[in-house]
Amino acid sequence: ETGVTQTPRHLVMGMTNKKSLKCEQHLGHNAMYWYKQSAKKPLELMFVYSLEERVENNSVPSRFSPECPNSSHLFLHLHTLQPEDSALYLCASSPDQRGNIQYFGAGTRLSVL
């Protein structure tokens, strides 16, 4: 148990659906991250939040919309996704924005049909 919880663990959605991924950390950290892991590719950083403020958007398409209402919660809102968006989405947190050691959740396995 890493202290970072992601729900749901699995999600299947159509291209016209709207869904949200949720991440919650119980570590008292101030920075949170979304990563994407596609098949046979390394983890790719999507978004970084520090003290609820977005500090990095790594050229992610607008069909992915993050939200950080407080330092313990992070959401990834999904709408009109494409089949190539099917991947494992991982949330991580670190004590602060300069934190090198990040703690990961188990991920949400997303399939877009």
Q: Per rule CB under 8 A, is residue 106 in the interface with another protein?
A: yes
Tell me the H-state helices in 33-99. none
The residue written with tokens 């977005």 in the block is: 54
Site for another protein in 31-60 (CB under 8 A): 31, 33, 35, 40-43, 45, 48, 50, 55-56, 58
Instruction: Give the C-alpha separation, 105 to 91, whole Å.
Output: 6
Q: How far is the CB of 88 from another protein (least distance, A)?
A: 9
Residue 59 is classified by DSSP as S
Q: How far apart are CA 93 and CA 27, in angstroms?
A: 8
- Minimum CB separation of residue 70 from another protein in Å reads 19
Question: 3-state class of 78 per DSSP?
Answer: strand
Distance of closest approach, residue 56 Cβ to another protein, in angstroms: 5
Given the rule CB under 8 A, which residues bind another protein?
2, 4, 6, 31, 33, 35, 40-43, 45, 48, 50, 55-56, 58, 90, 92, 94, 96-107
